[in-house]
Structure 1
């Protein structure tokens, strides 16, 4: 059967002497693997379609749910500038790898697709990559069914003053000080950071404007999202390790 789909390349790997297999996040068909014959050859007309972050229209043959074979394609947005910038490439790679690991084959991909598309576009436009990444992580958690409870205590269900709230990644949300005994390692969190987390929970990446966040708040925000991601998803990602190395050397 012949398929036509808009998709973003979230993984690209060599296959055999001259071929590549790409993984696409598509709006209609979810995550799809496609074989691109001859993509490694110098004069290949399809080589550009296999580049990571490329957004394009792909036409491929596919029997059932197996690997497709590319027939034709057209680039809509190459995101060439993302691949040329070390920082942007690192964050874009993280976004793609995270989605690849969370999104199951054949799972409906419309929302995932639009969030990834908005994430890559925001990175290309020069918006703060860490803020974009943390907002994207929140969308991933929510869509995967692990969105944190940020309005009321996850244990007693009571609404308390923000100053009395802690963050419990293990329990999946905020925990009031009256219930701290249920999770002694629960994290202290500032009112400002809690407010940002709530904003991220409500905000669609496609509506993100320019967000100016103080460095101290960004540090706490990163720690909070990292703890939530680790507790709820527990993924080990090469791209995240690389981001940590960049932070270590202040790149």
Structure 2
């Protein structure tokens, strides 16, 4: 039986050597989510496919798709690379983490539906130089549902009030208003601005975002909360996220050193 070759849109997540002349390439596809592809002969000198499967490449590909075993990549056209993401260490780190997060949220062969466009838009925005942390925060918040965690951000989970100060309660799975703070003495305290951004980022459509401007204070508060949820409720500990936190520490140390000088 002849193998059916399909045309698909793909984002190159990662690749590694396989045997003497071949590559294994993990790609995010619109139709079947993450898939691992065998690219035969890609390590040979002047191999045409080698340049089309560099990490952070995106375009149109041809191949034989399998959900439960290796897929086969046979051709590519109109492939481009996210140049800023490739060259910028911070953007590169966040894009790598985003791919790892998506890979953890979806099993190989699982159709992504709207998520593919959200991820593709996130990468495009980062490649335009927009704040990679906030862009990734959007998907961190929205992908929580894929891990079985669905916090209520816009109202108190006890009484439904929206007009009082809100704090986040892991124990109660969402926000508590000031009338019910006593339900969780270990709740995470949030100011009104941070709460507003949480509600916005948890629902925003990245395909419609044109600009991003969030203060460092809000960014720190958002990231602290999101990290707490992923550590405690999701139980997901990705090396790529750890690397970003290490980068943040390096940056803080350099700023402190600069002030002393």
Distance, in Å, in 2 between the alignment partners of 1:35 and 1:17 is 13
Contact map agreement 1:170 1:228 (CA 8 A) in 2: no
Contact map agreement 1:11 1:97 (CA 8 A) in 2: no
Change (3 A) 1:161 1:64: closer
Distance, in Å, in 2 between the alignment partners of 1:170 and 1:239 is 27
Higher radius of gyration, 1 or 2: 2
Contact map agreement 1:170 1:232 (CA 8 A) in 2: no
Compute the displacement of 1:152 (Å).
Answer: 2.0
Write out aligned runs for 1:27-42 (5 A).
Answer: 27-42=30-45
Structure 1 consecutive aligned stretches of length 4 or more whose deviation exceeds 3 Å? 62-65, 142-145, 177-183
Contact map agreement 2:84 2:128 (CA 8 A) in 1: no
Compute the displacement of 1:89 (Å).
Answer: 0.5
Write out aligned runs for 1:14-163 (5 A).
Answer: 14-62=17-65, 65-154=68-157, 156-163=158-165
How many matched pairs? 249
Contact map agreement 2:32 2:110 (CA 8 A) in 1: yes
Tell me the TM-score normalised to structure 1 length. 0.91
Compute the displacement of 1:72 (Å).
Answer: 0.8
Distance, in Å, in 2 between the alignment partners of 1:80 and 1:54 is 9
Which shows bigger deviation, 139-148 or 103-112?
139-148
Distance, in Å, in 2 between the alignment partners of 1:141 and 1:205 is 16
Task: Tell me how large the CA RMSD over aligned residues is.
Answer: 2.0
Which shows bigger deviation, 115-124 or 177-186?
177-186
Give SS of 2:153's match: coil
Contact map agreement 1:28 1:108 (CA 8 A) in 2: yes
Give SS of 1:44's match: coil
Change (3 A) 1:206 1:27: same
Compute the displacement of 1:148 (Å).
Answer: 2.0
Contact map agreement 2:52 2:79 (CA 8 A) in 1: no
Distance, in Å, in 1 between the alignment partners of 2:136 and 2:195 is 17
Contact map agreement 2:167 2:187 (CA 8 A) in 1: yes
> For each residue in 1:179-224, what CA deviation from the matched residue of structure 2 results, as whole angstroms up to 9, or x when unmatched?
4444332100010010011111221111122221121111111112
Give SS of 2:230's match: helix
Which shows bigger deviation, 185-194 or 27-36?
27-36
> For each residue in 1:140-166, what CA deviation from the matched residue of structure 2 results, as whole angstroms up to 9, or x when unmatched?
224555332012222x13314342x11
Contact map agreement 1:172 1:232 (CA 8 A) in 2: no
Give SS of 2:124's match: helix
What 5-or-longer segments of structure 2 have no aligned partner? 255-261
> For each residue in 1:39-59, what CA deviation from the matched residue of structure 2 results, as whole angstroms up to 9, or x when unmatched?
223311111222112112121
Distance, in Å, in 2 between the alignment partners of 1:13 and 1:171 is 43
Give SS of 2:199's match: helix
> For each residue in 1:6-55, what CA deviation from the matched residue of structure 2 results, as whole angstroms up to 9, or x when unmatched?
01112322211221111221111222211011222331111122211211
What 5-or-longer segments of structure 1 have no aligned partner? none
Contact map agreement 2:35 2:67 (CA 8 A) in 1: no
